């Protein structure tokens, strides 16, 4: 069996079109990512996940989602609990660290329960960017705290909750999006901090360096590589992410469709993979874009495949009573409201 292509793709709607099915079958992407546009109900979502996987001839074929809570929630409230933003747990941590840690764990244990039932096996969380008050609000209340040590502790709860629920975690945005004063969805942020200033942000990711997956940031870090964003920079990936931070898991790019990047679709994929990303991410589901981006994608490397396989070994599904878990979680959050 040939290697899958080193790309994760989105689809346009709540069911695959015949054109999408043919494209995925022909090009064999590693996996897929879902957004709110793809999700209406549990049965429909499970059917879509199964249909996506049926297009490819390899296993595992990861299916991703961004289910952080707050502003970044893809499962609609009509069928699923809406988790709070990360900053809620950071606030609770100020007065009750142990309750905050337990609540965070239970929150993501419940998220993992929802995702696992749908067949989704990768959640793009935790967001480990330390909040910087002068930064753009694209991170904002998604961040747990302005204190790197709090981010480290709460991040552990996220990862444990997901992994025990049968879902892989993705630490993001490595090496940090925290100081960026622009939104990389709209333009290229440039962070002019010194390496010394960046150190505490890197330390958060270093503390989670054994996580199975990580996602890059489309940000220029002037002290490391003034010419290229992290996703395209071998200096950022090989020197900072791999060596200084010590992350040796499966590294994916942030969405290649973000406006921080301006190269051709094929070049975006090519440059990210050449710099050291194991896999690239294209989210829009736009068929014309996918036809172009796939031209810059190579097969998944043997080293990337080994990292992918190693990551799945971290997941240990344990059954829970979801109602009991939710009741305990709600009691902890009620205590937060009363404090």
Please state, in angstroms and rounded to a whole number, the distance separating the CA atoms of residues 173 and 203: 13
Which distant-in-sequence residues (6+ apart) come within 8 Å of 266 by Cβ?
292, 293, 295, 296
> In the beta sheet, which residues pair with residue 4?
none
173 in active site: no
List the one residue out of 105, 103, 100 whose CA is nearest residue 145.
100
| Residue pointed to by tokens 């898991």 | 249
Please state, in angstroms and rounded to a whole number, the distance separating the CA atoms of residues 18 and 54: 13
Active-site choice (147, 185, 206, 248)? 185
Q: Which two tokens stand for residue 210?
A: 């054994």
| Residue pointed to by tokens 């239970």 | 106
Active-site choice (254, 255, 278, 282)? 254
Q: Which two tokens stand for residue 313?
A: 């070994």
129 in active site: no
Is the distance from CB of 90 to CB of 150 less than 8 angstroms?
Answer: yes
List the one residue out of 156, 51, 138 whose CA is nearest residue 100.
156
Which distant-in-sequence residues (6+ apart) come within 8 Å of 290 by Cβ?
9, 23, 282
H helical segments located in the chain: 18-27, 42-54, 86-95, 97-118, 148-164, 195-207, 234, 265-275, 287-293, 302-312, 322-338
Is the distance from CB of 219 to CB of 177 less than 8 angstroms?
Answer: yes
Which distant-in-sequence residues (6+ apart) come within 8 Å of 111 by Cβ?
67, 69, 83, 123, 125, 161, 162, 165, 167
Please state, in angstroms and rounded to a whole number, the distance separating the CA atoms of residues 58 and 3: 8
Q: Which residues does the annotation mark as catalytic?
A: 185, 254
């Amino acid at each position: 069996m040939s290697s899958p292509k080193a790309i994760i793709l989105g689809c346009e709607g709540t069911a695959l079109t015949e054109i999408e099915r043919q494209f995925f079958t022909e090009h064999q992407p590693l996996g897929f990512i879902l957004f709110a546009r793809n999700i209406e109900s549990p049965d429909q979502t499970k059917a879509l996940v199964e249909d996506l996987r049926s297009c490819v001839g390899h296993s595992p074929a990861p299916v991703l989602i961004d289910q952080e809570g707050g502003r970044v929630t893809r499962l609609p409230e009509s069928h699923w609990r809406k988790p709070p933003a990360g900053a809620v747990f950071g606030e609770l941590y100020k007065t009750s660290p142990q309750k905050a840690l337990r609540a965070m764990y239970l929150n993501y244990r419940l998220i993992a329960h929802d995702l696992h039932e749908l067949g989704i096996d990768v959640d793009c969380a935790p967001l480990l960017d330390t909040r910087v008050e002068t930064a753009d609000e694209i991170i904002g209340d998604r961040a747990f705290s302005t204190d790197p040590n709090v981010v480290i502790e709460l991040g552990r709860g996220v990862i444990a909750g997901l992994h025990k629920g049968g879902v892989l975690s993705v630490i993001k945005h490595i090496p940090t999006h925290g100081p960026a004063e622009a939104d990389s969805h709209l333009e290229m942020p440039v962070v002019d901090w010194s390496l010394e200033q960046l150190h505490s942000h890197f330390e958060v990711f270093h503390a989670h360096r054994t996580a199975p997956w990580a996602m890059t940031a489309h940000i220029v870090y002037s002290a490391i590589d003034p010419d290229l964003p992290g996703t395209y920079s071998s200096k950022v990936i090989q020197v900072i992410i791999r060596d200084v931070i010590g992350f040796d898991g499966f590294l994916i790019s942030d969405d290649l469709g973000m406006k921080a990047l301006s190269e051709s679709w094929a070049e975006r994929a090519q440059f990210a993979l050449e710099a050291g990303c194991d896999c690239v991410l294209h989210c829009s589901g736009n068929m014309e874009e996918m036809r172009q981006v796939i031209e810059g994608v190579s097969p998944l490397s043997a080293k990337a495949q080994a990292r992918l396989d190693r990551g799945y070994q971290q997941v240990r599904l344990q059954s829970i009573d979801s109602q009991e878990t939710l009741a305990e979680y709600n009691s902890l959050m009620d205590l937060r409201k009363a404090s």
